[in-house]
Structure 1
Amino acid sequence: MRLLLLLLAILPLAMAAPKSSATDRLAIRYDYFKVYSLFIENEQQLEELKEIYKDISVHFLNELAGPGHSYNIIVGPLLQKYVEGKLNELKIIFKVIVDDLQKLLDKSAVDKDSQMEWESYHTLDTIYDWVDKECAAHDYLECKVIGQSYEGRDIKSIRLSKREGNKAIFLEGNIHAMEWISSATVTFLLNELINSEDPEMQRLSEEYDWIVVPMVNPDGFVYTHEVERLWRKNRRPNGATNSSGLCYGIDMNRNFDYHWGGAGWNIDEPCDHWFGGHEPNTEIEILSLQSFVSSFEDGYIRSYMAFHAYGQYVLLPYGHSNTEFPPNYEQMKRIAAAFSDAASEPYGSAFTYGASGLLNYVVSGAAKDWAYGVKNIPFTCTVELRDKGTYGFFLPSNQITEVGVEVAAGLKGLVNKAAEEGIFD
């Protein structure tokens, strides 16, 4: 039975093989694939959902954290009737939130020849070309290649410093390949700091140094553009195999050496999306990022902000526990509240804030926890960007600018509150 279900799941992909048209972006297409939102009420339903994950080839977009949460899954056309029947049998409440995933993906089609702007998603080459041009145009920007990815692509950094003696804020993007809105938002913020005529944004660019790594996972990002839009990890073969062959990649936001491996769903399954590695600090991209952060003198970087999708959260340390909190947790909550209040002003977007292990799910080895627990940076967070599940990881490109505007507003509120709280002293 399971073999039949696997074949039924794979068949739509084979039938939807990519055309030769130059407009096709991906080798894998999702024509008529549906995205379902499931609400899991209790532990029994959660266990049944795990069995579905084991036995039926559907794509889970979220880690299974516990009951009382909604989870999104992608189901191919030949399996949809079976899955809906199974969910009804288990009395799991569900709804279809995307009728045809490929149509949604096509709304964010990438023009490979486009110049950098924030109405479209862009390729790695376009993003890096823009970074290089900005670096060449402004002497207060110090730009470095901090390392290479497993496949040999550059990992680039930009440091904006207009005045000696400033403290620094670190912005990190696209550690998860499929979260295109992450690097789009980080580059939007960098562009505002460089080119905006907004007096408040220019004041922030004068009074603070800004260190930006817009693309931590270039291999995975390129792979999402060329082969598999749903890819999350990096692209190093991890030594495991399954029925499809070699298993690739580590979830690099599970690979930092701070309470590594202590919690998280399927972080020990090498062929799964959330595999945290056989041990911490195995990935060259993560080692390059850590080495770069550590190259600055202690006390210089006062805030570390990692940008992800989705859910509209400001997630604070710790991730590995829902009962243990940082010594200055209340202070960090006040700063996160300032982000949330300010970010809601442009369009009414509500950001929930608090410890990630408490609000989201318990998971170990994240960048923000390493930055706080190992590097002693006093305010760290993961900002989960739009939306709350309507589009999820596939946010249409016509929302990029709005996301940038609301996050820039939130950033102003956050920095001003952090200064009031003495974070930059």
Structure 2
Amino acid sequence: MKLPILLIALVAMVAAKSAPGRLAARYDHFRVYQLTIETDLQMEELKKIHEHISVHFLNELGAAGHKYNVIVGPLFHRALEKTLKFLEIVYEVIVDDLQKLIDESSVGDDSQMEWETYHSLDTIYDWIDQECAAHDYLECKVIGQSYEGRDIKSIKLSKRSGNKAIFLEGNIHAMEWISSATVTFLLNQLINSEDPEMQRLSEEYDWIVVPMVNPDGFVYTHEVERLWRKNRRPNGYRNETGDCYGIDMNRNFDYHWGGAGWNIDEPCDHWFGGEKPNTEVEIISLQNFVSSFEDGYIRSYMAYHAYGQYVLLPYGHSNTEFPPNYEQMKRIAAAFSDAAADVYGSTFTYGASGLLNYVVSGAAKDWAYGVKNIPFTCTVELRDKGTFGFFLPSNQITEVGLEVTAGLKALVNKAAEEGIFD
């Protein structure tokens, strides 16, 4: 089985043992190139570039007319640039030393939970337990265990009977640390903020939060490989480097599963969607948890991801098919975008993910809409648009939290105006 995005040479260069407390995989002097793909021919050639250059694509390859980020080791800088010039692909080096950036966005003081640095799973879970013990309106459950036996925790905030619920999901992709950081920021605002509007939202709506869907992968990004995306179940395949691990769990939901997506059928690739839908214990636990609530109770499902600054709506499997209430959902997403931009100027593009981003099947938001009939679902792709990408410095966590909080307030109010919670 081939490994098209991360070749043996790259694996060998980054997998050397490191000092205690440091990731085993290192990317010293690896560059991140941002490529502007303007034509279909350039895209076809880009998809074949791994045949002679070791590259690691950070984005799923879709259509022309988009920018794509790739990681390339120092041995291949010159070869890549020569090839890009030959193909007339415009490029920019946006990160000159990836390891330096990874070090700058690594976990800092992990002694207690705050939102100035990234944290380990233990610190995040300890904070959840502390908040649950301190507030009787919080109901906290373990909704299941991961493949490696780690808890998947949930928090339900309910201050008043009869409320409709909003569901927040985080860190289904291991490397997207800003996801769980933002979801816990929002949860902290709902619990502890003195802002009257946040207090009102915590009174008038129930909030159900699963901040860490992929605990195994998340721990792996802290201890072994910062670029890991999937969960950690051995998937039964091998390649030249050994056993292949993991499923992209946001490609594993049983709604138009397997219909489209970059390399979703490559078991050793980052975007492998599984041999069939609903194969992962983490996904089954999440689905069972959502299904444990009565129909019509959860009225919004929001999954938080990185990166790109989008509010992605159903559907992902098509760029020609749209939900019956698509125009309504766009108005709600527009409210988020406008309010978030007011804080720091971050612009969030909104619309169907298959139309705006790329066509891909098996995502949580589509399952929540298409199977569970939740009337407003979305994937919020957080900062930034590619300068830092998955390695957003920790000094931006609070800013992201504040702009998303503003967006969330406006989104919920617009959704109420549109009758979503009726």
TM-score by length of 1: 0.96
CA deviation after TM superposition for structure 1 residue 85, in Å: 1.1
For residues 8 and 65 of structure 1, what CA distance do their matches in structure 2 show?
A: 25
SS of the residue corresponding to residue 142 of structure 1 reads: strand
Deviations 1:13-39, CA, capped at 9 Å, x for gaps: 25x64124x4x2x11111100000011
Alignment of 1:48-197 (within 5 A): 48-111=45-108, 113-197=110-194
Flag the 1:10–1:326 CA change in 2: closer, same or farther, 3 A.
closer
SS of the residue corresponding to residue 74 of structure 2 reads: coil
For residues 36 and 319 of structure 1, what CA distance do their matches in structure 2 show?
A: 27
Flag the 1:241–1:7 CA change in 2: closer, same or farther, 3 A.
closer
Alignment-derived partner of residue 322 in structure 2: 325
Tell which deviates more after alignment, 113-122 or 406-415. Answer: 113-122
Aligned length: 418
Alignment-derived partner of residue 368 in structure 2: 371
Counterpart check, 1:13 vs 2:11: no
Deviations 1:25-79, CA, capped at 9 Å, x for gaps: x111111000000111111111111111344321110011011111000011111
CA contact (8 A) 2:109 2:117 kept: no
CA contact (8 A) 2:8 2:241 kept: no
SS of the residue corresponding to residue 277 of structure 1 reads: coil
> Given residue 18 of structure 2, which amino acid in structure 1 is its aligned partner?
P
Which of the residues 303, 307, 312 maps onto 1:310? 307
CA contact (8 A) 2:258 2:264 kept: yes
Alignment-derived partner of residue 197 in structure 2: 200
CA deviation after TM superposition for structure 1 residue 8, in Å: 4.8
Tell which deviates more after alignment, 284-293 or 106-115. Answer: 106-115
> Given residue 236 of structure 1, which amino acid in structure 2 is its aligned partner?
R
> Given residue 327 of structure 2, which amino acid in structure 1 is its aligned partner?
E
> Given residue 18 of structure 1, which amino acid in structure 2 is its aligned partner?
S
CA deviation after TM superposition for structure 1 residue 111, in Å: 3.3
Counterpart check, 1:424 vs 2:415: no
Flag the 1:238–1:55 CA change in 2: closer, same or farther, 3 A.
farther
Alignment-derived partner of residue 240 in structure 2: 243
For residues 32 and 123 of structure 1, what CA distance do their matches in structure 2 show?
A: 26
For residues 331 and 289 of structure 1, what CA distance do their matches in structure 2 show?
A: 27
Alignment-derived partner of residue 293 in structure 2: 296
SS of the residue corresponding to residue 227 of structure 2 reads: coil
Flag the 1:263–1:108 CA change in 2: closer, same or farther, 3 A.
same
Q: Give the unaligned 5+ runs of structure 1.
A: none
Tell which deviates more after alignment, 309-318 or 86-95. Answer: 86-95
CA deviation after TM superposition for structure 1 residue 6, in Å: 5.2
TM-score by length of 2: 0.97
Alignment-derived partner of residue 208 in structure 2: 211
Alignment-derived partner of residue 287 in structure 1: 284
For residues 18 and 291 of structure 1, what CA distance do their matches in structure 2 show?
A: 40
Tell which deviates more after alignment, 86-95 or 411-420. Answer: 86-95
For residues 247 and 106 of structure 2, what CA distance do their matches in structure 1 show?
A: 27
> Given residue 148 of structure 1, which amino acid in structure 2 is its aligned partner?
Q
For residues 197 and 141 of structure 2, what CA distance do their matches in structure 1 show?
A: 27
Counterpart check, 1:262 vs 2:259: yes
